[in-house]
Amino acid sequence: MTCNSQIKKKLPLRSSLSDQLELIVSDCTQCQICVSQCSFLTQYGDPKHIASRYHLGSKEFFKIPFECSLCQLCTAVCPHNVDPKKMFLEMRREAFDQGQSNLPEHRRLRQYEKVGTSKRFSWYALPENCHTIFFPGCALSGTRSEITLQTYSELQKSIPDIGIVLDCCMKPSHDLGDQNNFNLMFNEMKTYLHKHGVKTILTACPNCLQVFTTYGTEFESKTVYEALNLINLPQATDAKNIVALHDPCTARFNQPAQDAVRDLLRHKGVSVEEQPHNRTTTVCCGEGGAVSCVNPILAKSWGQKRIDATQNHHIVSYCAGCTQTLGEKANTSHLLDIYFAKDSALTSQSKIAKPPLTYFKRLRLKKHLQNKLQVAESRERTFHPPTEKARHGAHITARKALILGSLVTISIMFIFKAWI
């Protein structure tokens, strides 16, 4: 029996997962190149081996896809254009849809996302004639609220009508396989922005950018680093500092962002020591795919791989999440710390803001913007999709109504017939 027919026989899978499994089984040659780069695959076997054995009902496959960082290093190194991330993401979605992945380990992350999209924390501020918004994302706003403000002011110099949106891009739901929640929330945001004439999104976080470029194709989306790079900065005369640059895995295939970041550092007199794993072959910091929730040892091993390769150079990243994660083990700065001329950013011990301080900083940022900005259109987000329980309740109510309606119709017909 072929592997393909084995897959078809096992379960009535969602078609996208079934397609991904078939694709991996047919295209992966088991050359082991990706396995040699990835600790997760080293533990569970190459993608074809996993796809051939996939069985949702088994306990093993209950957690396996949640240990993949969804980082696409495998995709970058595969000589046969195989994209195992797609398969692992579909496995997560299948597990979620089957009610098997509501893991207690993910509760804190789900709560973080919920807070980000809440009325209290969200704020949309669109000035008159606003076509471009700055979307800083939850991590930058929480760890660097002052720098978020400075970035916005800097962008206003070249784009006077730029708006700002404090909200969550919903990547946690997306990566945890809750595609229904992701779609409802992201589409509501997208519709609002579209309706109010927004055409361009500038993100500080490569995760948010990935979401907008994949699901918000009606917008032109790019990083703020590309926009800042267009602002005429004086070129520094000599490089005073050397840093190890960490490209976030979500920016792996985004060469314009990678180039812009290197340009900005050069302008600031900072020289980049390129890492063996950089640009398309960069490694995950350890936070990708929320692996740290279910397998913290595996997650830490990714971050350690990066730190070990930096030869004690100060690390710089352009993702606030990566900066936070790597900063727990080594001196790490965000690119924007350096951009806003914090000389101390490259010399002092990195300070890591943690909850509840990060939540407080986000609220303070929102308050500050509300007091300062003149906007034509603004809102706090109040939309929330019905919970699973409510959906289930609505389903039961609809079924009851249907049964009641049918009974009434039958009774009327019966009485009518008896009367004739």
Q: How far is the CB of 347 from ligand SF4 (least distance, A)?
A: 33
Which amino acid makes up residue 358? T
Spacing of C-alpha 355 from chain mean position: 19
- Dist CA 176 CA 109 (whole Å): 10
Closest to ligand SF4 by CB, 28 vs 228, is 28
Q: How far is the CB of 348 from ligand SF4 (least distance, A)?
A: 33
**Angle ∠(411,417,419) on CA atoms, nearest 5:** 100
Closest to ligand SF4 by CB, 74 vs 335, is 74
Q: How far is the CB of 5 from ligand SF4 (least distance, A)?
A: 20
Q: How far is the CB of 248 from ligand SF4 (least distance, A)?
A: 13
Q: How far is the CB of 299 from ligand SF4 (least distance, A)?
A: 10
Q: How far is the CB of 98 from ligand SF4 (least distance, A)?
A: 21
Distance (Å) of CA 23 to CA 29, 84, 90, 251: 11, 10, 13, 25
Closest to ligand SF4 by CB, 80 vs 417, is 80
Dihedral, CA of residue 29, residue 31, residue 34 and residue 38, to nearest 10 = 120
Question: Are 282 and 248 a contacting pair, CB within 8 Å?
Answer: yes
Cα end-to-end distance, the chain, whole Å: 65
Contacting residues toward ligand SF4, per CB under 6 A:
28-34, 38, 40-41, 46-48, 68-74, 78, 80, 82, 84-85, 88
**Angle ∠(416,417,420) on CA atoms, nearest 5:** 85
Question: Are 312 and 293 a contacting pair, CB within 8 Å?
Answer: no
Closest to ligand SF4 by CB, 38 vs 130, is 38
Closest to ligand SF4 by CB, 32 vs 409, is 32
Q: How far is the CB of 294 from ligand SF4 (least distance, A)?
A: 13
Q: What is the DSSP letter of 12?
A: -
Cβ neighbours of residue 377 closer than 8 Å, sequence gap 6 or more: 124, 126, 130, 196
Closest to ligand SF4 by CB, 70 vs 257, is 70
Question: Are 204 and 148 a contacting pair, CB within 8 Å?
Answer: yes
Cβ neighbours of residue 226 closer than 8 Å, sequence gap 6 or more: 256, 257, 260
Closest to ligand SF4 by CB, 41 vs 193, is 41
